[in-house]
Amino acid sequence: MRSVGHLRAPSLSILIVQTILFLVDCASSCTGSQHEDDFGRAACLKMDQALLLIHNELNLEGFVVSWRSDQCFQCLYQVLIDVNATNDVSTAVDTRHSLTLQLNGTSRKKELCRIHYRFSEYGNYSLWVKLNLSESTNVTCSIVINQNPGYSYLPILIALLMYLAIFCIYALGSFIFRLGAVQNWLCKKMNPIETDRLINSELGSPNRADLCNHEIHVAWNSSSQRLRSLDTFRGLALIIMVFVNYGGGGYWFFKHQSWNGLTLADLVFPWFVFIMGASIYLSLNSMLRKGTTRWKLFWKVLWRSIQLFLIGLFIINENYCRYPLSWNELRIMGVLQRLSLTYLMVSALELLFAKPTLDVPPRSRICFLFQDLISFWPQWGLILFLEAVWLCLTLLLPVPGCPVGYLGPGGIGDFGKFPNCTGGAAGYIDRLVIGEAHIYQHPSSNVIYKTTIPYDPEGILGTINSVVIAFLGLQVGKVLVYYKNQHRQVLVSLFTWGVFMGVVSAILTKCSTNEGFIPVNKNLWSISYVTTLSCFAFFLLVLIYFLVDVKKLWSGAPFYYPGMNSILIYVGHEVFKNYFPFKWKMQNTKSHGEHLTQNLLATSIWVLISYILYRKRIFWKI
């Protein structure tokens, strides 16, 4: 952090003065002074907020303004501000989702009016509260835009155009470089003609230009034999994960959903688990074919799982960057901890029943979706048993003070009836087994639902469904081995799996966010979350496999490189996330543009690091 300060030393004193003046102005404008102007009040706004001026024209009657977000399902109204009978007031309002504002009189506690509106970030609005001239008992509420808000999504558009331009330049350069005439010209420039003539005449060797073309052709063909789509898929999930972990430019849709539903940030971890399952099958099947014993493989799997768990426990722990680790407050579960347990359980299940698949399977096999279910029924039986355990614990386990089968967020959800029931059985099991001090203290549910108790999205019960989605990924590995070099059959099988998972999700959720039998929920890792994300994963893998391994229209770059070094990139971005150049002190913390620049630059640096490591053939395997 200090290095950034030294780089800007000539303007340091100016920045200090400007910062002090801003803080003084902000402090004075937020005190509720009667002489503050709109600009001063707007200066105190944070990201995802707008300024609302409330004008009371009710003839000496005050009221209370309460609000509720559309994203908050069956929530209590929260008090926004009290408005007295004589003065106009201003307040900040949330802009992430549409709001419902409710006005209740302070004297008779009667609802005066209700208005639904979607505010825009950093906008300036007025809420006029007036008596209806035709009927003196009625009150009208209307919202007027005083100052148009800025276009807060412009930085995303600019970033997309910049990355698109870089991609186009890269694609054009790759196309030109692959042209035969260009390759011959480059080889001739790198190998002088006279030297080439002498070598040919004395040794009878082939022309160097032809030799160069031959080497390039062989290198391209040899690299294309590797199944790059899996590494590309893994790298895509990893890079999105890095970007959202760094902040996602401060945009709400790059953060985890508060409870039911999905954002972009909710997609990547299950995808990573999904593709890990595919890699498990390919790896174990290959080593079994080579004659490695099951016990030897199991001890390798166990040791790797222990390493992953310890890295997550002691290196990537949220307390580490804040203060020295305390055993009394150490978070036991986490992303790598869940990965380690999932990897261990799925690998052990596969080693228990698996048989090495032949290199050249018979051509007469029928649809693999049904053949897979029939041939591997013991594994499917155990997976269905685990899912039955999840359903029974989630829907039938008695939780003190909570209704049986509760799947809600607690807090102000469900009209505030169950404030301490966050996560139902999942939260109760974690608090009972791990202890409240050893689980995640700041869940995403407290953003909108105002929950007050800790809840861990990587808890014990959700690990069961993490195993399920990894096992579904395992089927990808089986399909790829089963239909080796039969691209059409691979695409049909993966697409069929995607459709099947989509149908199951539609049934479980009734195609709604909150009204289904089991809603899609990342915090719970609900079964509908597993089937929905598996559906997306199958379809996305079909697309990547078609472009990368079938048509070879895309090499998988740049996602292929971090996909080859996923553990190193994940651990590295977590350990060094607060160090320059991945993070620096921003001049304007309220700017999406500066946040987005910082987060995209940090993510791009890790892509560059992964590319350099790939070129150096450095891969961190545990």
Contact 354, 380 (CB under 8 A): no
CA 509 to chain centre: 21
User: What pLDDT score was predicted for residue 314?
Assistant: 86
- Measured CA to CA in angstroms, residue 274 lies from 61, 270, 346 at distances of 59, 6, 11
- Measured CA to CA in angstroms, residue 255 lies from 251, 262, 448 at distances of 7, 10, 13
Distance of alpha carbon 3 from alpha carbon 580, whole angstroms: 8
- Alpha-carbon radius of gyration of the chain: 29
**Per-residue confidence at 378, pLDDT binned at 50, 70, 90?**
confident
User: What pLDDT score was predicted for residue 108?
Assistant: 61
Highest mean pLDDT among 147-151, 226-230, 291-295: 291-295
Q: Give the Cβ contact number of residue 117 at 10 Å.
A: 15
Tokens of 564: 């080859």
Provide mean pLDDT across the span 546-565: 91
Rounded to the nearest 10°, the torsion over CA 106, 109, 111, 114 is 50
CA 287 to chain centre: 33
Provide mean pLDDT across the span 129-144: 77
pLDDT at 553 over 50: yes
The Cβ-side half-sphere exposure at 256, using a 13 Å CA radius, reads: 21
Distance of alpha carbon 510 from alpha carbon 505, whole angstroms: 8
User: What pLDDT score was predicted for residue 198?
Assistant: 37
Give me the residues paired with residue 125 across strands: 52, 145
Is residue 55 part of the annotated active site? The answer reads no
In degrees, rounded to 5, the angle at the alpha carbon of residue 128 between the alpha carbons of residues 124 and 133 is: 160
User: What pLDDT score was predicted for residue 310?
Assistant: 92
Provide mean pLDDT across the span 134-144: 77
Give me the residues paired with residue 55 across strands: 128
Dihedral-angle region of residue 49 (phi above 0 means left; psi in -120 to 50 means alpha; beta otherwise): beta
Distance of alpha carbon 137 from alpha carbon 537, whole angstroms: 57
Select the more confidently predicted residue: 592 or 299: 299
Tokens of 369: 């979706």
Q: Give the Cβ contact number of residue 386 at 10 Å.
A: 18
Distance of alpha carbon 553 from alpha carbon 562, whole angstroms: 20
Sign, Cα dihedral of 143, 71, 89, 64? positive
User: What pLDDT score was predicted for residue 190?
Assistant: 61
Highest mean pLDDT among 8-22, 283-297, 504-518, 574-588: 504-518
Distance of alpha carbon 27 from alpha carbon 322, whole angstroms: 28
> Mind listing the pLDDT tens digit for each residue in 151-187?
888 889 999 999 899 888 887 887 787 777 767 776 7
Please provide residue 572's backbone torsions phi and psi, each rounded to the nearest 5 degrees.
-60, -45
Provide mean pLDDT across the span 377-404: 93
**Amino acid type, 252:** W
* Catalytic one of 6, 55, 256, 487: 256
> Mind listing the pLDDT tens digit for each residue in 253-276?
999 999 999 999 999 999 999 999
pLDDT at 519 over 90: yes
| Of 493, 496, 499, 498, the residue nearest 480 (C-alpha) | 493
Distance of alpha carbon 332 from alpha carbon 340, whole angstroms: 13
User: What pLDDT score was predicted for residue 58?
Assistant: 78
User: What pLDDT score was predicted for residue 592?
Assistant: 86
Distance of alpha carbon 19 from alpha carbon 13, whole angstroms: 10
Select the more confidently predicted residue: 39 or 564: 564
Provide mean pLDDT across the span 242-250: 92
DSSP count for the chain of H helices, then E strands: 21, 8
Contact 122, 152 (CB under 8 A): yes
Highest mean pLDDT among 79-93, 97-111, 469-483: 469-483
Distance of alpha carbon 339 from alpha carbon 346, whole angstroms: 10
Quote the pTM value: 0.84
